Amino acid sequence: MEIKSLLHYGVLAPSSHNSQPWAFKIGENNLEIYADFKRKLKEGDKDGRMLFVSLGCLITNLKIAADYLGLAYDFNYLSEPTGLAAIMNFRGEKEKSEKYFKAIAERRSNRNRYKDMLIPEPNLKELENLNCEKSLRINFITGQELKSKIAEISSQAMGQAMSNRNFRRELASWLRTNLTMKKDGMPGNGHGISLLVSFIAPFILRHVNVSKVEAKKEKKRIMNFPAVGIISSKENNPASWLKTGELLEMILLAAQSRGIDSAIRVAAIENQEAREKLKNALNLKGFLPQMLFGLGYAEKEAPHSPRRKIEDFIIS
């Protein structure tokens, strides 16, 4: 059995700034999944929440790919994951399943403008029913009044983040030109940026306070989504972040299989005050928001983000 073949699908998972913060040890009949803290965002992900969410997204991809290849497996999760987050154990063969497999390669964050088209209610219900964890909660917001509150909260959080020079510098370090040969980070065309602007955008971010401009953009982005999804959890620790990521990726893949585009927005999640405001706005008693994303039908296709070589992720 070629465990390495699974990794080609696993690493297509989303990660903050496309940092790809994961590593693996391949055993004879198991795969150890590690957090790569060297690629953690010191300013944009101070507590490591997004890192573990990314690992959760990767685990969902691994499960779906294993189902497609007909590989029986189970997972051992660390109750308090640090470096080693989970172990995937293989137990022979089983009946193959193609469910959501095709969507792994098709999914990408689409940051273009979205069409003024509602997502059919049965589709949103289908996505909602993907949550089998009692410790997690998923809300889809389509009403203009509540969406406006979320947009305002996200706008304020984005403004605060972009007013932080260290945050802007870190973000700039992950921006790539449209002609980049690097296999991580965010090429400008993934944000709808032209070739010329992709060369100067990092310089502008480092030296210009763009907080007011980006705050206005964030508000428009949230209001432009036909539906806004928020995943919340009872606990606030790496184990819950991992489960949040698993549910997030399952929703994004299921949405993609229905022709629904998605874009992750985390400004309001990374800001503690903004998270409390989101919690109150949604009346999330006993739950804390862990992930915010938009769903809909984008006007343009988005390019895929680059990926590092599988060999770069494997440790001995």
**With contact defined as beta carbons under 8 Å apart, do 293 and 139 qualify?**
no
Task: Return the CATH superfamily for domain 121-296.
Answer: NADH Oxidase (3.40.109.10)
The 8 Å CB, 24+ separation contacts for 42-48 are 42/170, 43/164, 43/166, 43/167, 43/169, 43/170, 43/171, 44/16, 44/17, 44/161, 44/167, 44/170, 44/171, 44/270, 45/16, 45/270, 46/270, 48/238, 48/241
Chain region(s) in the chain for CATH 3.40.109.10: 4-107, 121-296
Per-residue pLDDT of the chain (316 residues; tens, 9 = 90+): 578 889 999 999 999 999 999 999 999 899 999 999 999 999 999 999 999 999 999 999 999 999 999 999 999 998 777 789 999 999 999 999 999 999 999 999 999 999 999 999 999 999 999 999 999 999 999 999 999 999 999 999 999 999 999 999 999 999 999 999 999 999 999 988 999 999 999 999 999 999 999 999 999 999 999 999 999 999 999 999 999 999 999 999 999 999 999 999 999 999 999 999 999 999 999 999 999 999 999 999 999 999 999 999 999 8
Whole-prediction pTM: 0.97
Give me the CATH code for the 4-107 domain, please.
3.40.109.10
Alpha-carbon span 237 to 43, nearest angstrom: 18
Q: Which amino acid is at 231?
A: I
Place of tokens 């957090």: 35
